[in-house]
Amino acid sequence: MNEPEPQPPTPDYDDKGVPSFDFVRDKIESRYATSLGASELAEDTESARSLAERQEARAKAAQDRLEEIRKSLG
């Protein structure tokens, strides 16, 4: 009977199948970088800029209104 030779574990995992710290860290960093890139791309779209401009206008209007109310209260 020829028993198959046990395969050595991949370098990213130990004999029990637990991933190494470096492997996990690299995977997390890769996902974080992908997320940052996606958000940067989303911010560069025309609709995102338009939304940001509308939010700025609302915030300015709210601030102006708040100052107007404060002045009327004396």
Query: For the chain, what are the domain ranges?
Result: 21-73
- Contact criterion met (CB below 8 Å) for 29 and 23: no
Q: What is the pLDDT of residues 34-71, one digit of tens each?
A: 999 998 888 878 887 888 899 999 999 999 999 999 99
- Contact criterion met (CB below 8 Å) for 20 and 14: yes
In this structure, what token pair is assigned to residue 50? 């338009």
Q: What's the whole-number mean pLDDT along residues 5-34?
A: 86
In this structure, what token pair is assigned to residue 34? 């992908």
Kindly report the pTM of this predicted structure: 0.48
With 80 as the cut, is the pLDDT of residue 5 above it? Answer: no
The C-alpha angle with vertex 20 and arms to 17 and 22, in degrees rounded to 5, equals 155
Q: Where are the alpha helices (DSSP H) in 1-74?
A: 21-43, 46-73
Q: What's the whole-number mean pLDDT along residues 21-34?
A: 95
